[in-house]
């Protein structure tokens, strides 16, 4: 499962996608791939999300996951729809256990040392740091690096093109999560040429940071 997560994080950016109309899912999947960002965390915040995941999972060049996974039932919902990885805004032992049963990697949210320790105790080493901007941002993650050498973090929440370098220069941050390259309004409008452009721009910016 760690190999799959490495693939998810390989472009150093994970698009956090809100799909309100499942009819837009196929076009969105194509735009992500064309923009050299072939991964999507589709949040379970809308009724359209399960169908969108199922549609996007049909694209063989895209790694589709589900975000905002809070419960074991949502683990099943997402995996049954075709999600290959899961992301949660917090740490739920029950959700982690169910994900392990289903054989799908889960990245739980952590913002305190106690939450990080709980996740490490559960055998997880790739963790979400959310909401990053509200919990000290890059400064907190820099402090974490000295005490949690076995953990790597994907900061999400308040991450943008303007502060990308603050995070990606940290040794314990393999990638960030964000939505600036997949604006909900642009997806709603079906402007996939713009999504493709924003994705390509984001990937180039991340690569330039080194």
Q: For 107-150, give the DSSP string.
A: E-B--SHHHHHHHHHTT--EEEETTGGGGTHHHHHHHHHHH-TT
> Which of these is catalytic: 58, 128, 194, 201?
128
Each domain of the chain, given as residue ranges in start order, spans: 2-111+175-209
pLDDT band at 2 (very low <50, low <70, confident <90, very high): confident
pLDDT value of residue 108: 98
pLDDT band at 18 (very low <50, low <70, confident <90, very high): very high
Average confidence (pLDDT) over 93-108: 98
Assigned token pair, 192 = 């996939």
Q: Tens of pLDDT along 154-201?
A: 999 999 999 999 999 999 999 999 999 999 999 999 999 999 999 999
Determine the Cα–Cα distance for residues 25 and 111; give it in Å rounded to an integer.
31
Average confidence (pLDDT) over 134-149: 97
Residue 128 bears catalytic tag: yes
Crossing angle of the two packed helices 49-56 and 25-34, in degrees rounded to 10: 50
pLDDT value of residue 106: 98
pLDDT value of residue 90: 97
For domain 2-111+175-209, the CATH superfamily is Aldolase class I (3.20.20.70)
Looking at the chain, the whole-number percentage of residues with pLDDT higher than 90 is 99
Average confidence (pLDDT) over 66-84: 98
> Which of these is catalytic: 41, 51, 115, 142?
41
Give yes or no for residue 79 having a pLDDT over 90. yes
Residue 101 bears catalytic tag: no
Average confidence (pLDDT) over 60-69: 98
Average confidence (pLDDT) over 65-72: 98
Average confidence (pLDDT) over 71-95: 98
């Amino acid at each position: 499962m760690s190999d799959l997560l490495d693939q998810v994080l390989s472009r150093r950016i994970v698009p956090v996608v809100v799909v309100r109309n499942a009819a837009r899912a196929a076009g969105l999947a194509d735009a992500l791939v064309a923009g050299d960002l072939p991964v999507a965390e589709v949040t379970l915040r809308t009724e359209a999300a399960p169908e969108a995941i199922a549609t996007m999972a049909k694209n063989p060049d895209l790694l589709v996951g589900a975000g905002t996974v809070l419960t074991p039932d949502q683990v099943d919902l997402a995996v049954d729809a075709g999600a290959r990885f899961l992301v949660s805004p917090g740490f739920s032992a029950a959700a982690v256990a169910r994900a392990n049963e289903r054989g799908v990697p889960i990245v739980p949210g952590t913002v305190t040392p106690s939450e990080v320790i709980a996740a490490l105790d559960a055998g997880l080493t790739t963790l979400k740091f959310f909401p990053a901007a509200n919990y000290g941002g890059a400064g907190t993650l820099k402090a974490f690096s000295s005490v949690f050498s076995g953990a790597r973090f994907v900061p999400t929440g308040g991450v943008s093109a303007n502060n990308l370098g603050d995070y990606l220069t940290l040794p314990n941050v393999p990638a960030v999560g964000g939505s600036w390259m997949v604006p909900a309004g642009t997806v709603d409008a079906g402007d996939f040429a713009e999504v493709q452009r924003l994705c390509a721009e984001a990937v180039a910016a991340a690569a330039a940071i080194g």
